[in-house]
Amino acid sequence: MTETVYQSISPSDFFYRNREIAGFSNPSRAIYASVRELLENSLDACEVHRVPPDIYLRLTEVEAASENGASIYTMRVEDNGTGLPSDQIPHSFCQVFYGSKYTLKQARGTFGLGGTITILYGQITTHKPVTIISSTGGDIHEYEMMIDIEHNRPIILRHKVIGNKKGWRGTVVELQMEGDYSRIKSRLLDYLKQTAMVNPYAEITFVDPSGRLYRFERGTEKLPPLPQQVKPHPHGIDVENFRRLVAITDSKNMMGFMTSHFQGVGSKTARRFLEVADISPKARPRALQPVDIVKLVRTAKEYEAFKRPDPSCLSPIGEELLENGIRKELGLTKDDFLKVVTRAPSTYLGFPFIVEVAIATGKSIQRQFKGGTTIIRFANRIPLLFDESSGVIWKVVNRNIHWDTYKVTSDTPMVVVVHVCSTKIPYKTVGKEYMADQPAVEKEITNAIRTAARSLRLFISRSVRIAREKRRLDIFGKYLPKIAEFATKLSDKEEPPDIAPLLAAVGQTIPEVEEKIKEMPDIGGQSS
């Protein structure tokens, strides 16, 4: 009889065995996931320092493709962010589930995998160490490291301290990895373009394996406000979180506990809530029994008198920056239509979120995307390029909105941009590619698109009227000379009348008609 062996494994060992759930399912997706994780780490580091990001990314082929189509590449990412303290560098890059993002505020990364899973993948496909160079403005620290996969800890192979007379601040990550750039090239360039779209204050430079340089230039120096760390909201608490708060609290009674550890809970609200939960305001938190904690959590989820969650933990792009980024990356002109809408903060399951939507159409869109609707999705400023039809955004655009109400046909060239920011994006997978159907989120996306679509309907109506008036005036200008000629013959005159002033007047009338139509009110139907 075979003996059953029981064992535990470390987090890094788990992702070594199951790296596909973090987006590293094949060599091409590995390139995409690595660029994404390292680039987003750099953006976060720069925003914390409140400097417009300058990010340099280079991918160099060092070993030609093998039979499976994969090559060995050196990936190098440089940024001008905050840098890391020397003692934090080994754990931040070579320990899974170690980082600065496990707080209640909006962040691009929420799983603590980012750079670490990229380094892990590079190590298991090339057995080469990663080089990290970083400085917070003082000495420059250069580390060469690998990951102890079995024990989830860094192995420091070399640590060098370098003087920093110029006061450089930032981080450089360089590693080797197996990948297939040719298969992911178009998606990767789309990712970089869309990242530049929602981060118009960033300068991103990419050099591909063939040496071709792509530069996504900065459109503004203005940065969005930083999200603030907040206390948990009672609607979003669970039994384990509640138990942890009880274990660390200094509060002597439940009144103090509720007002100290939860956002938007004052003494009156706390007293009323505890009364509904049948818990004495004078009870000691650490004397609570498990049954009491369960009762408190269940009551909190159903109690409707709590204030809405504090949105200061969120950092939406903002209408000005989003418009700047879209115009820059889509090359829109003043004649193209663009409407940006930012909804008021809302909540789902106790987590605050904000929806931002933009709709663009016009000749510039037609040249790039031909006909039909193109959806560009973002979550916490992260482009979502895969599994589009599985997410709630696709559902809203293609099922919830009756586009014919807004005079949009199946051939209308249109781009719909949707961004959702939250302390907890309702992703369906660890790979963070699409959002689940949360009713509150779906409703906000639907309402935001409808608001933008009403302006789109007005634009289309006016465009149709302008085109009709132009055709009428063009016909007038075309046949006026012939009318003058026939009139001359009928009147037996030798010289036709001078129609040049009249033709000039027709030419001057066209822009006047355009302005007049733009001032006319919309007479379209009601929104769906």
511-528 average pLDDT score: 50
The contacts of residue 48 (CB under 8 Å, 6+ apart) are 81, 82, 226
Tokens 């788990």 locate to: 14
Summarised one tens digit per residue, pLDDT across range 473-519 is 677 677 777 777 777 777 777 777 776 676 666 555 556 555 655 55
Residues with Cβ < 8 Å from 120, sequence gap 6 or more?
12, 15, 16, 19, 96, 147, 149
Angle (CA) 364 366 370, round 5°: 145
The model's pLDDT over 455-469, given as tens digits with 9 standing for 90+, comes to 999 999 888 787 777
Among 191, 174, 173, 147, CA closest to 29:
191
Q: What is the pLDDT of residue 39?
A: 95
CA angle 301, 244, 115 (to 5 degrees): 100
Average pLDDT over residues 284-311: 92
Residue 192 predicted with pLDDT over 90: yes
Average pLDDT, the chain: 88
Using the structure block, give the residue that is written with the tokens 């605050």: 352
What is d(CA 417, CA 378) in angstroms, rounded to the nearest whole number? Answer: 8
Give the DSSP H or E segment for 458: helix 439-490
pLDDT above 70 for 229? yes
Q: Is the pLDDT of residue 68 over 90?
A: no
pLDDT, greater one: 171 or 517 = 171
Given this model, what pLDDT does residue 371 score?
79
Question: What is the 3-state secondary structure of 251-278?
Answer: CCCHHHHHHHHCCCCCHHHHHHHHHHHC
Question: What DSSP string runs through 165-183?
Answer: TT--EEEEEEEEEEE-HHH
Rounded CA Rg of the chain: 30
Predicted pLDDT of residue 350:
80
* Residue 108 pLDDT level (bands cut at 50, 70, 90): low
φ, ψ (nearest 5 deg) of residue 300: -60, -40
Q: Is the per-residue pLDDT at 521 higher than 60?
A: no
Portion of the chain with pLDDT greater than 70, in percent: 90
Dihedral sign, CA of 303, 307, 308, 311? negative
Average the pLDDT over 221-243 and give the result: 90
Class of domain 11-216: alpha beta
pLDDT of residue 400: 95
Encode pLDDT of 12-51 as tens digits: 898 888 888 888 889 999 999 999 999 999 999 999 889 9
Alpha helices in 18-151 (DSSP H): 27-49, 89-94, 114-126
Give the CATH number of domain 234-309.
1.10.8.50
Give the least confident one: 111-120, 247-256, 394-403, 438-447.
111-120
Q: Mean pLDDT over residues 47-60, rounded?
A: 95
Q: What share of the chain is helix, strand, coil (3-state, %, to 5)?
A: 45, 20, 35
**In the prediction, which pLDDT does 407 show?**
93
Mean pLDDT throughout 377-391? 91
Residue type, 521: P
* pLDDT over threshold 60, residue 296: yes
Dist CA 478 CA 503 (whole Å): 9
- Cα Dmax for the chain: 120
- Residue 113: the pLDDT is 65
Crossing angle of the two packed helices 114-126 and 27-49, in degrees rounded to 10: 140
Helical axes 267-277 vs 290-302, angle rounded to 10°: 120
CA neighbor of 229 nearest in space, from 334, 312, 308, 115: 312
pLDDT of residue 279: 94
Percent of the chain with pLDDT over 90: 65
pLDDT at 510: 54
pLDDT above 50 (res 162): yes
User: Could you report the per-residue pLDDT of 79-93, keeping only the tens digit for each?
Assistant: 999 999 999 999 999
Question: 95-99, 136-140, 262-266, 324-328: lowest mean pLDDT where?
Answer: 95-99
- CA-to-CA distance for 106 and 41, rounded, in angstroms? 14
pLDDT value, residue 518 = 56
pLDDT at site 230: 86
Instruction: Give the β-pairing of 140-148 and 153-162.
Output: antiparallel
Residue 71 has pLDDT above 90, yes or no: yes
Q: Nearest CA to 255 among 279, 290, 230, 235?
A: 279
Chain centroid, CA 476 distance in Å: 51
CATH class of 312-454: alpha beta
Residue 297 scores a pLDDT above 80: yes
User: Cα–Cα distance between 26 and 338 in angstroms, integer?
Assistant: 38
Residue ranges per structural domain of the chain: 11-216, 234-309, 312-454, 459-518
Residue 526 scores a pLDDT above 50: no
Say yes or no: do domains 234-309 and 312-454 share a fold: no
Q: Who's near 7: CB < 8 A, 6+ residues apart?
A: none
Q: Which residue has the higher pLDDT, 371 or 210?
A: 210
Q: Which amino acid is at 227?
A: P
The reported pLDDT for the residue numbered 523 is 41
**How many CB atoms are closer than 10 A to CB 137?**
13
193: amino acid identity, one letter: K
For residue 447, the cross-strand partners are: none
The residue that leads in pLDDT, 227 or 472, is: 227
| Sequence letter at residue 104 | L
| Least confidently predicted of 286-290, 350-354, 430-434 | 430-434
